[in-house]
Amino acid sequence: MWRPSLKRCFHFSLSLMKKLKGRSPTEQRWVMRQLRDPYVKASHDQNFRCRSAFKLLEMDDKFQLLQPGYSVVDCGAAPGAWSQVAVQRVNSAGTDPELARGTVIGIDLLNIPPLDGARFLCSHDVTHPTTHAKLQELLPCGQAHVILSDMAPNASGFRDMDHERLIAMCLSLIELAEKILLPQGSLVCKYWDGVFAHQLQKELCSVFSSVRTVKPDSSRKDSAERYFLARMYRKPEK
């Protein structure tokens, strides 16, 4: 289903090969990995903004997180691939008039090109109270069915430090959930495996009835990347 045409494969491969000229060995290895990656080719063929779309597609196909009419918040949304998937699955562009029409709102510090069916809050910090207030203003009844997060900090070169920073970002989503997530709602967040992952899992288990670890097939095998899929949200008692 994801196999691009031979013509598109040829032009895509040719453009990547041109990028090898004058590059360092590390950069050349990255380009060659992209050239061999079937999900990179598939993302071009299906007009997704990047290969990460297939991670969410896999998870949604298996767990049915996104339903027509749902409201979805996509954290760390740039360049917008997960929002593309969400728009399709919740029918936020109204493509199928017979289905309920959902809502998709993406947030990122970076700029995100416009996408029919999604509202993007660019130059917004997902951890900031003003962003939370803006979400409550834009979401139907101020609440969401699903929070998605594929966000990650800029790499520092120190694996343990980056791991800890990403865990902190994920923990901030629990505070966001308290403000906008509907009871029985779901949260998907990326984390990198490491010593603080158990702390994040423990915090998620305190407010979600079901928490599991997911490693999509489209996630590179040599990557420490994992996802927590948390379902059936319970708002904490004050």
Per the residue annotation, which of 18, 19, 62, 190 is the catalytic one? 190
> Is there a contact between 58 and 85 (Cβ–Cβ < 8 Å)?
no
| 19 is a catalytic site residue | no
CB burial of residue 10 (10 Å; 0-12, 13-18, 19+): exposed
> Is there a contact between 4 and 41 (Cβ–Cβ < 8 Å)?
yes
Token readout for 208 is: 């979600």
> Is there a contact between 44 and 2 (Cβ–Cβ < 8 Å)?
no
The set of long-range contacts for 95-102, using a CB threshold of 8 Å and a minimum separation of 24, is 96/68, 99/68, 99/69, 100/68, 100/69, 101/68, 101/69, 102/66, 102/67, 102/68, 102/69, 102/70, 102/71, 102/72
> CA 185, CA 145: separation in Å to the nearest integer?
5
Task: Just list the catalytic residues.
Answer: 190
